[in-house]
Amino acid sequence: MWSNRGMEVITRDRARIICAEHGTGFPVLALAPGGLRSTAAAWQKVVFDPVAELSDRFRVITMDQRNAGASAAAVTGLENWGTYAGDQLAVLDALGIPTAHLVGMCIGGAFILRLLRRAPERFARAVLFQPIGLADNREAFLELFDGWSAELAPRHPEAGPPQWRAYRDALYGGPHTLFSVPDEELDQITTPMLVLRGEDLYHPAAASELLAARAPNASLVERWKEPEYLPAARAAVLEFLLS
């Protein structure tokens, strides 16, 4: 069962972002899985919940991304990975957090990489669980976006098909393996990273391996999700963040 110090509402431009804090200590911003439906509650459904695993030693910040869960924002067609990074930095700013660790799963990996390119001085270490990646699977991501946008569209009369298409293309239409950062910039991300390899349609192993090979301070954990490997993986994440 989670406990926290209450929900916070962060306003930024035409967005209302919901976040919460759990525990005390050095801050950890936790960016949940679930694609564009990424919410704080999603952590409770996966094998590593940073609130349960880390809040006894860290100040864990969870959040609902824009237009997911209790967070809401206008849809303009100008959204991109930088838009999400702006929301996430606004949360840290509102909470008075100058420096934090990052933990992310699935789409959280793409969020982390954008943050590390935009504001590397704000982050000490990062853990990426099975980051999403492009590997002959673009249609799968476009279909996910279309399902998400179809659910939201009735609540967004300000946006029509051109705005939704621009939004989708900005996130999933480019050539970058990790989506949010060009492949040629991965070697410029010097923040220490622990990458726990993906191995399915949305989290291809090749994406995790490329990141670990290109980023100079990244380490790869190949096996972690199976029950026999999970205790060691949890210990490795904690040791890495405490280093």
Report pTM. 0.96
d(CA 131, CA 104): 8
Q: What is the pLDDT of residue 2?
A: 46
Report d(CA 177, CA 54) in Å as an integer.
30
Count of C-beta atoms within a 10 Å radius of residue 70? 15
| Stretch 184-198: mean pLDDT | 98
- Burial tier of 236 (Cβ tally within 10 Å: 0-12, 13-18, 19+): middle
Give yes or no for residue 15 having a pLDDT over 70: yes
Nearest-CA neighbor of 170 among 73, 75, 38, 88?
75
Mean pLDDT of 18-39: 97
Angle between helices 161-172 and 138-152 (to 10 degrees): 140
Question: Does residue 4 carry a pLDDT above 60?
Answer: no
What is the residue whose two structure tokens read 């853990």?
Answer: 127
Map out the domains of the chain as residue ranges: 7-242
| pLDDT tops 60 at residue 144 | yes
| Two tokens, residue 13 | 């431009």
d(C-alpha 147, C-alpha 157), whole Å: 17
> What average pLDDT score do residues 202-222 get?
98
- Chain mean pLDDT for the chain: 96
pLDDT digits (tens, 9 = 90+) for 61-118: 999 999 999 999 999 999 999 999 999 999 999 999 999 999 999 999 999 999 999 9
Range with lowest mean pLDDT among 11-15, 207-211, 222-226: 11-15
The predicted pLDDT at position 13 comes to: 86
* pLDDT band for position 5 (cuts 50, 70, 90): low
- State in words which class domain 7-242 has: alpha beta
